[in-house]
Amino acid sequence: LGIPVFAIVDTNSNPELVQFPIPANDDASKSIQLIMNVVGKAIEDGLSERKVDKEDADRKEADEAAIAEKTEADTES
């Protein structure tokens, strides 16, 4: 399928079987919880950043449209 695989890889695992191995103790719930908290925070940060980027792009597009409209109105006068 070509889907990149992220996996927690312990000493009894083969890290060559995954594209993005995360070295950690896969038997300890606190280890897994810590990793999942970091991954969750990264997702939240990425979504927030994407929202800001989209708002900036929308604002830029609106500004460019307003400038084009003003230029067109000035040319017609």
**What pLDDT score does 72 carry?**
81
Per residue in 17-64, pLDDT (tens digit) is: 999 999 999 899 999 999 999 999 999 999 999 999 999 999 999 999
**What pLDDT score does 64 carry?**
93
**What pLDDT score does 45 carry?**
98
**What pLDDT score does 52 carry?**
96
How many domains are contained in the chain?
1
The SS3 of residue 8 is: strand
Instruction: Give the span between the Cα atoms of 33 and 30, in whole angstroms.
Output: 5
The SS3 of residue 10 is: coil
**What pLDDT score does 12 carry?**
93
Q: Which helix (H) or strand (E) holds 59?
A: helix 29-76
Residue 77 pLDDT more than 80?
no
Q: Are 19 and 3 in contact (CB under 8 A)?
A: no
Residue span of the structural domain in which 30 resides: 6-76
Q: Are 27 and 11 in contact (CB under 8 A)?
A: no
Establish if 1 belongs to a structural domain. no
Establish if 26 belongs to a structural domain. yes
